[in-house]
Amino acid sequence: MTQSVVVQVGQCGNQIGCCFWDLALREHAAVNQKGIYDEAISSFFRNVDTRVVGDGGSISKGKICSLKARAVLIDMEEGVVNEILQGPLRDVFDTKQLITDISGSGNNWAVGHRVFGSLYQDQILEKLRKSAEHCDCLQCFFIIHSMGGGTGSGLGTFLLKMLEDEFPEVYRFVTSIYPSGEDDVITSPYNSILAMKELNEHADCVLPIDNQSLFDIISKIDLMVNSGKLGTTVKPKSLVTSSSGALKTRHKKPFDAMNNIVANLLLNLTSSARFEGSLNMDLNEISMNLVPFPQLHYLVSSLTPLYTLTDVNIPPRRLDQMFSDAFSKDHQLLRADPKHSLYLACALMVRGNVHISDVRRNIERLKPSLQFVSWNQEGWKTSLCSIPPVGHSHSLLALANNTCVKPTFMELKERFMRLYKKKAHLHHYLQVEGMEESCFTEAVSSLSALIQEYNQLDATKNMPVQDLPRLSIAM
């Protein structure tokens, strides 16, 4: 069994990470009721005997003593990490695997990347190496960060290059939260474009998620609950409710519920690596099958159901409806419509009591409405994990390498150019040592080249699929 390490960077990364570890513990507790440390738990947790001082307390089998997350927590402000250390999950994190500062990055990519990157490089490397040493077979680093702030975008992409240099054989999967157009960080277009260049060059797979999509999804759930449709009720202590038990208003962005969706995405993404199934899909297979060209490694995710039943009592969707939902734009975690764009490849990761015949039947049903590139008409990759999410009979995560990501990148570029043409706020970046205007022009050129690659693919849409000549064998 392989192991993965989660590196959560910045305020957003740590809040999502905290939610992920909470849900992961609940999931394993529901499956592993005997409290035995098994391979499934070992993929994300170490079993530690806290009575042993130092690093000698790791236990590879037997009863669970004290679980420690395979995680590195990094933030250049103390607030969120301190909150985690005072919360119910405080004992899950190894305090030696945390890095914090006081001043923060001031919403400036250059401060996060150049200043704190060089200042904390050795410490970060030491923590990453320590995490790797605790693994028998380290397969993947999951980086969780936001693109709009300073620490998440700057330091988050700095350590991505470090991981590539130090652990070239270990996959780098990045969950990147993109800012919405109404983002309250004025410099977020600068931060996002500068970070995009690093993602293009140093990530194996990027799961782009935008805040607006998450907010829209939560608003729909709120609306469903308020209207009383389908007999929906909010459960006590729900992640969709506030601490007072009343539904959060639209004006207060319900970040906990939004983070819960991203955490569920990561749980489902890794389910095949953690649990048994009739058709498992390893993380290396995702990269191998879904990324035909190095830079086109942005995978649009959709999740159904979009909530956990620990949050809302909503009757389960019929199996066929679940597959249809995964391809509708309402279920995408990015504002995108994959059905009206071009697929390079698609993965369906199914959990629960679902047969391969059900998956094949739904693929055949949906295929006529989906456009795949002419050279990869059968670009499907499927997995079946027998363990469903807590409270569900089944679930589906769809990962699409699809040209529908292009509008998000184009909109980001437009927002960047509006600021950059006026040279607004540029001096904050240029006063950081090592930053020059060429950093901005190179970053926007990198993004333009990426958009052009998607344009070239889109230009092949609706072209007739040629029957490729078969290999003839001389007898």
> Model confidence over 452-467: pLDDT tens digits?
999 999 999 877 665 5
Domain stop point among 367, 389, 405: 405
Residues 312, 390: one domain? yes
Q: How far is CA 157 from the centre of its chain?
A: 14
3-class DSSP state of 317: coil
Q: Which residue has the higher pLDDT, 323 or 51?
A: 323
Q: Is the pLDDT of residue 96 over 80?
A: yes
Contact (Cβ atoms closer than 8 angstroms) between residue 146 and residue 176: yes
pLDDT in tens, 332-349: 999 999 999 999 999 999
Residues 365, 446: one domain? no
Residue 438 belongs to domain with CATH number? 1.10.287
Domain stop point among 341, 371, 405: 405
pLDDT in tens, 63-89: 888 899 999 999 999 999 999 999 999
Tokens 């933030």, residue located = 75
Residues 340, 398: one domain? yes
Residues 307, 398: one domain? yes
Task: Please report whether residue 82 resides in a domain.
Answer: no
pLDDT in tens, 263-301: 999 999 999 889 888 888 889 999 999 999 999 999 999
Omega of the bond leading into 389 within 30 degrees of 0 (cis): no
Residues 400, 307: one domain? yes
Q: Give the mean pLDDT of 165-178.
A: 97
Task: Please report whether residue 423 resides in a domain.
Answer: yes
> What Å distances lie between residue 300 and 99, 132, 172, 279, CA to CA?
31, 29, 16, 22
**Whose CA is closest to 240, among 258, 224, 228, 265?**
258
Residues 380, 431: one domain? no
Rg (C-alpha) for the chain, rounded Å, is 22
pLDDT bin (cut points 50, 70, 90) of residue 391 is confident
Question: pTM of this prediction?
Answer: 0.91
Residues 447, 384: one domain? no
Domain interval for residue 420: 407-460
Residues 271-276: contacts with CB under 8 Å, at least 24 apart: 271/349, 271/351, 271/385, 271/387, 272/349, 272/383, 272/385, 273/1, 273/2, 273/4, 273/43, 273/139, 274/40, 274/43, 274/44, 275/31, 275/40, 275/385, 275/386, 275/387, 276/385, 276/386, 276/387
Residue 383 belongs to domain with CATH number? 3.30.1330.20
pLDDT in tens, 412-451: 999 999 999 999 999 999 999 999 999 999 999 999 999 9
> How far apart, in whole angstroms, are the C-alpha atoms of residue 232 and residue 322?
18
Contact (Cβ atoms closer than 8 angstroms) between residue 46 and residue 70: yes
Task: Please report whether residue 448 resides in a domain.
Answer: yes
Task: Please report whether residue 37 resides in a domain.
Answer: no
Residues 314, 389: one domain? yes
Domain stop point among 389, 405, 421: 405
Task: Please report whether residue 69 resides in a domain.
Answer: no
Task: Please report whether residue 150 resides in a domain.
Answer: no
The confidence score (pLDDT) of residue 310 equals 43
Q: Is the pLDDT of residue 154 over 90?
A: yes
> What Å distances lie between residue 181 and 50, 176, 241, CA to CA?
47, 16, 25
Residues 367, 450: one domain? no
The confidence score (pLDDT) of residue 256 equals 85
The number of folded domains in the chain is 2
Q: Give the mean pLDDT of 108-115.
A: 97
3-state helix, strand, coil in the chain (%, to 5): 45, 20, 35
The two structure tokens encoding residue 191: 């931060």
> What Å distances lie between residue 73 and 81, 115, 146, CA to CA?
7, 18, 14
Task: Please report whether residue 430 resides in a domain.
Answer: yes
Lowest mean pLDDT among 214-218, 242-246, 459-463: 242-246
Segments of 263-341 assigned E as strands: 300-304, 312-313
Residues 395, 417: one domain? no
Average pLDDT, whole number, for the chain?
88
Residues 419, 385: one domain? no
Task: Please report whether residue 334 resides in a domain.
Answer: yes
